[in-house]
Amino acid sequence: MERAVQRRYLGLTAAIAALAVATTVAGCGSLGIGGSDEVTLKFVAADYNIDGGDGTKKYWNNLAREFETKNPGVKVDVSIHSWNDVDRKVAEMVEAGKAPDIAQIGAYADYVADGKLYAVEEMVSIPTQANFLAPLAKAGEVDRMQYGMPFVGSTRLMFYNKDLFEKAGIDSAPKTWDALAADAKTLKEEGVKYPFALPLGPEEAQAETMNWMLAAGSGYTDDIGAYSINSADNIGAFTFLKDKLVGPGLTGPVAPGKLNRKEAFAAFAKGEVGMLNGHPSLMQQAEKNGVEYEMVPLPTKDGKQRSAMGVADWMMGFKQNGHRKEIGKFLDFAYEDANVLAFADEFDLQPVTLTATDKMLADSKHQKTRKFLDAMPTAKLYPVGKTSWAKVSENIKQEIGAAVEPGNTPGGVLGALSREAAAVDSAQQ
C-alpha cells in the first residue's frame, strides 16, 4: 500500500518535474553548464571493497566521467576513503573550512545541527526525492525536513544452517523465542559449536541489540522520539537472552560481549553456527564455503512477525561552496536506476529507491535477496536523525554485552544505558 501511494505521488509530480527540468535547461548558464565558468564538485565517498580492491573508486570515477560528458562545465573530483577514516576525514575538512560539496558517509545529523547541509528538496528533482523508500527517507529527516539521502541499504534476517538443522532432526525454523531456545538446545546436544551466535561485541552490537528490541515490539526510541532503551519490552528481550540462551550455554564458547559480527559470520561460513542474525553479504560468504542456509524473520516472543531492522548509509550536500544546483544535477544522475543497481549489484547491497527495488525484485538473478528486499519498505532504522545517536551508539557497543553476563541484570544495564542516552541527548539539544 505504502509503495503504491508513493508511485501515485511520483506520477502526479511528473509534470512538475518536467517544468523544473525545462526551467533548469533554460537557465543552464547559472549552473556553469555551457557557460564560461567551470565548476568542480568535491565528492568524498566511503570504500565498500572489503577485500582491498578498487571497485568503489572505479565505480565513482566512471560515473563522474559519464556525468561530465553529459554536463559540460561541471567536473567531479572523487576522493575515496575507508569506512575507518571517511567520517573523520569529512569532519576534518568541515572543521578546516574546506567542506566537500557532496559526502557519502555514515551520519549526517551533526552537520544539520550546525547548519552545514542543504535540505534534499533544495537539491534534487521531485521525482528523485519521491523515489526513496519511505522508511529510509524518513530516517533522513531532522525536524521533519529531509537532509540525508539514503545511498544503499540492507535489512536483517535470521540465517540458519539447513544441514545442521536436518542432522538435529529440526524440520522447520522457529517462530517464537521458546521454539528458538528449544532448537538451540537440540543443536547443542548434536555438538554444534554455536547453536545461536549472539555477537554483542563492540564491532556492531548496536545492530544485534536492535534486532532483539524490534522482535520484542519496541526499539531504541518511543513514539515521540525519546530514548526508551530500558522499556519493559527491551528488558524482556535481554532477560530471555540471558536466561534462556546465554545462561544454558547455547550461544557458543565466546561470551556474547566478546563476539564480533565478523567472527560470527566467519563461523557460520565454516558450518559452525546453527542460527544467527545476518545481512545480505552473508549469503555470498556462506555460498563460497558450500554452506546450505535459509533466511527467515527473527522469531518473536509471541510468534507475530514484526518489522525487520534496516540500515542505510547517507549522501548529503554541503552549503559552503554554494554549488546547490550542480550538486542536485549530479545527485539526480547518481540516483538513476541503472547507476543505483550497478552499485548494489557489485557490493551485494540493497537499492534505496522504489523503481530500482522493483527492477531488482523482477530480476531472476536476485531471487535469493527477495526476502531482504521485501523487508525494507517496513523496516525500522536507527534514530540517525538525533545528533546524540553517534555517542549513544558507541555506549551501546561498549556496554550492552554486560546485560547478559552472570551477576548483572538486564534491567540494570539497560537502565544505565538509557540514563546515559538521555543525558547525551539533553546536552545536545
CA distance 151 to 104: 8
Report the predicted TM-score, pTM, of the whole model to 2 decimal places. 0.80
Write out the E strands in 201-302: 273-278, 293-296
pLDDT for residue 232: 98
Residue with cell 531472476: 364
- pLDDT at 35 > cutoff 60: no
**What are the tens digits of pLDDT across the range 285-328?**
899 999 999 999 999 999 998 999 998 999 999 999 999 999 99
Residues 408-424: pLDDT tens digits?
Answer: 999 999 999 999 999 99
Summarised one tens digit per residue, pLDDT across range 208-255 is 999 999 999 999 999 999 999 999 999 999 999 999 999 999 999 999
Q: What structural domains does the chain harbor?
A: 2-154+311-381 (3.40.190.10), 157-307+388-427 (3.40.190.10)
Q: Would you state the pLDDT for residue 364?
A: 87
Helices (H), 96-196: 109-113, 120-123, 126-130, 134-139, 162-167, 177-189
Average predicted confidence (pLDDT) for the chain: 90
291 within 8 A of 166, measured Cβ to Cβ: no
Judged against a pLDDT cut of 50, whether residue 145 lies above it is answered with yes
What is the C-alpha separation between 340 and 352, in angstroms, rounded? Answer: 8
Q: 164-203: buried (b, 16+ CB within 10 Å) or exposed (e) per residue?
A: bbeebebeebbbebeebbebbbbbbeeebbbbbbbbbbbb
Whether 25 has a pLDDT exceeding 80, the answer reads no
